Amino acid sequence: MKKFLVYIPVAIVFIISSCSSIIQIPVKYPPELTITNENKTIVIINDFDISKLNLQNPKEIEVYISGVKNLINGLTDSISEDDKLKFTVCDTLTKIKADSIFSTDTFPGYKEFICRENSASNLLTINNLEIFFDQEDNYDDLEEDKVTSRDHYLGIRAGFELYSSNGKLIDNSNVEVLKLHKTRMVLTKWITIDPSVKKAGENVDLLSYAVGRKYRGKFYPSTDFVTRQYYKGKVFRESNKFIEKGDWGNARIVLLKMTESTNPKISQEKVAHNLSVANEALGY
């Protein structure tokens, strides 16, 4: 008798899991930022003063300057299907910071002035660029306390301020991108050779460009994939054929018909759940 009771929970779990499954569905999100002006031209100014970091190594200074330039490239590189939104550079940005005439602290009303002079709908200023490292230890499979190697991650964090043509602040945000930079062996748990900014120029350029693209992406709709559970069974055979093919439109049509059914074998609660999954995938 006791042996029989042991198998009852297992049987229940099997029955429950066999009545449902999971699927990845696309979820669409609207743009984080919207330009209402018909003239969707955003003029860019670099207001980040690298000299204030008090860097002593010339090579490290070059890495920061190159990082800013690649950040700008990420913002300004055109998108083939984009015929409306345009990013343009006000200053040449060949120096550490924009020339004083373009500096945001030169005089009151600079935002309106710069937008007017560049026939722009908005002003975007870059007010910070941070290069940083993070790390994660890898442990021996047999000795849990023994660190065998260390993953060093390189990160770029940039600060942006977006203004309207009349000087109103629309968005103040930081954008960050992180990627694996190097993996190094560890002699002891406390001793390893840490990476340096002056030798990370190539990856800094790549990540800075990615940060620029990521901020630009705020102006466009986006799609992400999330995991959702849906009910299975004979009554859902037709609708689930469409669900499992990703044909959410037809799945929704079938499920809507099922909501009108008076068949007691059809659980309207489960139908409503599957319909909510289809609606989410379609952006309803």
Residue-wise pLDDT tens digits, 229-273: 999 999 999 999 999 999 999 999 999 999 999 999 899 999 999
4 pLDDT more than 50: no
What is residue 75's predicted lDDT score, i.e. its pLDDT? 93
The residue ranges of every structural domain in the chain are 41-220, 229-282
| 39, 70, 91, 92, 109 from 67: Cα distances, Å | 29, 5, 16, 15, 29
Highest mean pLDDT among 45-49, 62-66, 85-89, 221-225: 62-66
DSSP string, 114-172: HHHHTT-SEEEEEEEEEEEEEEEEEE-SS-TT-EEEEEEEEEEEEEEEEEETTS-EEEE
- DSSP3 helix / strand / coil % (the chain, rounded to 5): 40, 30, 30
Q: Please choose, from the candidates 272, 282, 274, the residue with its C-alpha nearest in 3D space to the C-alpha of residue 229.
A: 274
Tokens describing residue 75:
């913002």
Whether the predicted pLDDT of 9 surpasses 50: no
Burial of 96 (0-12, 13-18, 19+ CB in 10 A): middle
- Identify the three-state secondary structure at position 195: coil
Instruction: Give the class (CATH, top level) of 41-220.
Output: alpha beta
Q: What's the whole-number average pLDDT of the chain?
A: 85
pLDDT at 163 over 90: yes
Which of 11-20, 37-46, 51-60, 65-74 has the least mean pLDDT?
Answer: 11-20
pLDDT attached to residue 23: 93
pLDDT recorded at residue 190: 60
With a CB cutoff of 8 Å and minimum separation 6, the contacts of 185 are 148, 149, 192
Q: Is the pLDDT of residue 73 over 90?
A: yes
pLDDT at 47 over 70: yes
**Which of 219, 206, 267 shows the shortest CA–CA distance to 82?**
219
Q: Over 70: is that where the pLDDT of 97 sits?
A: no
For residue range 124-148, list pLDDT tens digits in order: 999 999 999 999 988 888 887 788 8
Side chain identity, residue 121: S
User: What do you get for the CA distance between the two ends of the chain, in Å?
Assistant: 52
More confident residue, 206 or 145: 206
Strand locations in 200-247 (E): 222-231
The better pLDDT of the pair 274, 6 is held by 274
- Model confidence at 96, pLDDT cuts 50, 70, 90, reads low
pLDDT at 49: 86
What pTM was computed for the model? Answer: 0.74
pLDDT of residue 26: 85
Q: Alpha-carbon distance 229 to 236, whole Å?
A: 14
Cα 96 to Cα 185: distance, rounded to the nearest angstrom: 36
- 8 Å CB contact between 215 and 122: no
